[in-house]
């Protein structure tokens, strides 16, 4: 992908943290994803947190 004359290759590195086993019998998970450039450096410190429904219950 080209942006402002620079070529970017996006990669995602995810760290999965498993939470306690929920009462519904499903695993609860929280995932942290960092967007990095082709050299492996975080892009402007962009971090996203994704959480399952079981983790937020």
Res 42: pLDDT: 75
- Decide if pLDDT at 31 tops 70: no
Q: How far apart are CA 45 and CA 57, in angstroms?
A: 28
Q: How far apart are CA 22 and CA 45, in angstroms?
A: 32
Res 37: pLDDT: 75
Angle (CA) 34-14-55 rounded to 5° is 110
Collapsed DSSP state (helix, strand, coil) of residue 8 = coil
Backbone phi, psi, residue 15, to 5°: -115, 120
**For the chain, what percent of residues have pLDDT higher than 70?**
19
What is the mean predicted confidence (pLDDT) over 50-56? 59
pLDDT tens, 10-27?
A: 334 333 333 444 444 555
């Amino acid at each position: 992908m080209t942006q402002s004359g620079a070529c970017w290759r996006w990669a995602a590195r995810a760290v999965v943290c498993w939470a306690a086993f929920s009462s519904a019998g499903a695993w609860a998970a929280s995932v942290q994803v960092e967007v990095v450039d082709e050299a492996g450096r975080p892009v402007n410190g962009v971090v996203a947190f994704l959480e399952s429904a079981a983790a937020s219950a």
